[in-house]
Amino acid sequence: MKKSILIVTVTILTGLLSNNLFAQTTPTTTPPSTTATPAAKPDTSAKDIQATLADVADLTSLTAAVKAANLDASLKAAGPFTVFAPNNAAFSSIPKTRLDSLMKDPVKLATLVNAHVIAGKYDKAALIKAIVAGKGTTTLKTVDGQTITVGVANKKLQLKDSQGNTAEVTSFDTPATNGVIHGVNGVLMYK
């Protein structure tokens, strides 16, 4: 009998304590303040692709390439676009002399940047649906007509260009007013 009472007591206390823990981690809403407060940083979904890219510290190389290629206005257009955005480490994997040469040639640099921009909005779910429909891969056209093959390799989404360059998708579905951005760990069309 004492054992049963002990079990019931422990169960009730556990329930009360766990509810208290959940209450501490559950976000609470606060009533609006009547005093002025500083403006919060705007949500990135309220920005176009160019502005969203510029706000990400790990995409400074891509942002510089977009500017050097004179593609700022293109990524501010209505879209929708899907951008596979190479991170800074991806750009650093390009030999320095090759990268320097590309950064000085706006036409070749535009080809490289456009190799990462797809006309249309392909969030993660749409990409997976296209891969399933294509029985393992799907082909997407970039804004300037290049072909990217998207498939799964080592349980990760992988892009492959016509030159054999590959990149894995490392992050998905960063929203922008004119499309969506996915992070990738490689640069396409740089050879």
Domain housing 60: 44-184
**Sheet harboring 147-153: ordered strands across?**
117-119, 81-86, 179-184, 166-176, 156-161, 147-153, 137-141
CA–CA dist 13, 26 (Å, integer): 20
Kindly report the pTM of this predicted structure.
0.74
Helix (H) or strand (E) holding 159: strand 156-161
CATH number, domain of 122, equals: 2.30.180.10
pLDDT in tens, 158-183: 999 988 999 999 999 999 999 999 99
Number of domains the chain is built from: 1
pLDDT (tens digit, 0 to 9) for every residue of the chain, 191 residues total? 555 443 433 333 333 333 333 332 233 333 333 333 333 344 444 798 899 888 888 999 999 999 999 998 888 888 899 999 999 999 999 889 998 998 999 999 999 999 999 999 999 999 999 999 999 999 999 998 999 999 999 889 999 998 899 999 999 999 999 999 999 999 988 66
Of 13, 1, 49, 41, nearest to 181 by C-alpha is 49
Whether residue 128 is contained in a domain is answered as yes
Residue 88 belongs to a domain: yes
Phi/psi region, residue 12 (left: phi>0; alpha: psi -120 to 50; beta: rest), is alpha
Does residue 1 belong to any structural domain of this protein?
no
